[in-house]
Amino acid sequence: MLDRFAKHREIVNSITTLDDTEKELLYSALNIHGHFCGGMPMGYLAGLAGLKALGAPRELNMDKEVIIFVGDHHAGGCFADGVQFATGCTFGKGIMRKEPKGKWCYLLIDKKNEKAVKVTVKPEIMKAAFNSPFIKNYRTKGIPPTEVDQEVAIKAFLGLFSKPFEEIVNIEGPFDYKVDKTPSSHNLAFCEKCGDAVAENYLRVEDGKKVCLDCFTYNS
Ligand SMILES: [Zn+2]
Ligand SMILES: [Zn+2]
């Protein structure tokens, strides 16, 4: 595993078009993502492009949100990881959500200023990615990314870094965006049936008992 991290460091350090902070984040992203591919760096660059267009730094105080339009069962997950790592808007923090449309596209929202930008990978970039040996000779044959010839995978990984953002993505905005300001519950409760800890806003009442969704049996 440590060998792999060292390889990640070596390849990321070879990129001359990113500054030190962007490289450090990309290195972390690559360690978490786990393999060289073309999709994660595409999402990473699309993420940086979105932040630049919005004129805002990477998410730090839950002040941004991403709605991503990749779907399931297509080569979109790697792209979504790249967008998460660049913007800092992660699924875990609840500030990234998916609206599956099968598109390499996302909305970056500044919740404080209620502004957003829409970032879409250019069709010609998508076409080139799907025609690359990484996809054509390996992924379409069901070969997992870590088993792709590493020279081919690294070439796919590095492919876009020499291009300016304008050649990779189309950007709409910034435009006004109405933000959902539903507050988060910080009240901890315990299911009166199974005892699990559960957030209060997910409790239901059944037979006069406060229960979790697993124990709730009424059909509404
Ligand atoms: Zn990947
Ligand atoms: Zn329960």
Residue 145 has pLDDT above 70, yes or no: yes
Å from CA of 78 to ligand 1 middle: 4
Distance 95 CA to ligand 1 centre (A): 21
CA 46 to chain centre: 10
Provide the Cα torsion 128, 99, 157, 88; round to 10°.
140
The architecture that CATH gives domain 2-176 is 2-Layer Sandwich (3.30)
CA of 9 to the centre of ligand 1 (A): 16
What pLDDT digit, counting tens, does each position of 116-140 carry? Answer: 999 999 999 999 999 999 999 999 9
Beta strand extents in 53-101 (DSSP E only): 64-68, 96-98
pTM of the model: 0.91
What fold, for 185-220?
Wheat Germ Agglutinin (Isolectin 2); domain 1 (3.30.60)
End-to-end CA distance of the chain: 49
44 touches 85 (CB < 8 A): yes
209: left (phi over 0), alpha (psi -120 to 50) or beta: beta
Locate the domains of the chain by residue range. 2-176, 185-220
180 C-alpha to ligand 2 centroid (Å): 29
The rounded Å distance from CA 81 to ligand 1 centre is 8
Q: What is the pLDDT of residues 158-195, one digit of tens each?
A: 999 999 999 999 999 999 999 988 888 899 999 999 99
